[in-house]
Structure 1
């Protein structure tokens, strides 16, 4: 099983099925995610698909998603305009 380190070029992650949220902007600027075979999750910037990917353990992703669902990161962005 392949192990990927943070900063690996996203295009070097073999067979990654990248996806983005349906809430991404009309211009497509968003964060994309891919589940890796070892249970880890890779994240990349959609504007730079061949750029570096950050790779997180299942526990790290679970903690982050819990914070997102708990509105802990809302202060990082301004009001969303429809």
Structure 2
């Protein structure tokens, strides 16, 4: 089975992260600019916690590239 990666429709540069669900249910995250770098793999629980934080604004950046607090 081939792994099918998706990237955000908001990616306008072509150099974005890509995400796939693996056969065992874990989540694979890779950098589309350099596919020779191994992907990071997360459990479903880790992924759900991360995406919940993103949706809650916990990783929003402010001017200067710092995380909002």
Higher normalized helix content (fraction of residues): 1
Same fold (TM over 0.5): yes
SS in 1 for 2:15: coil
Per the TM alignment, residue 56 of structure 1 is displaced from its structure 2 partner at its CA by: 0.1
Report matched runs for 1:20-39 at 5 Å: 20-25=7-12, 27-39=13-25
Match of 1:15 in 2: 2
Aligned CA-pair RMSD = 1.8
Unaligned 5+ segments in structure 2 are none
> Could you give the per-residue CA deviations for residues 42-80 of structure 1, whole angstroms, max 9, x where no partner exists?
0000101232100000000000000000000003775xx
**Could you tell me which residue of structure 2 aligns to residue 67 of structure 1?**
53
Partner Cα distance (2:4, 2:42) in 1: 16
Superposition TM-score, scaled by structure 1 size = 0.70
Aligned structure 1 segments of 4 or more residues deviating by more than 2 angstroms? 75-78
What's the CA shift string for 1:1-30, capped at 9, x where partnerless?
xxxxxxxxxxxxx611011000012x2011
- TM-score w.r.t. the length of structure 2 is 0.82
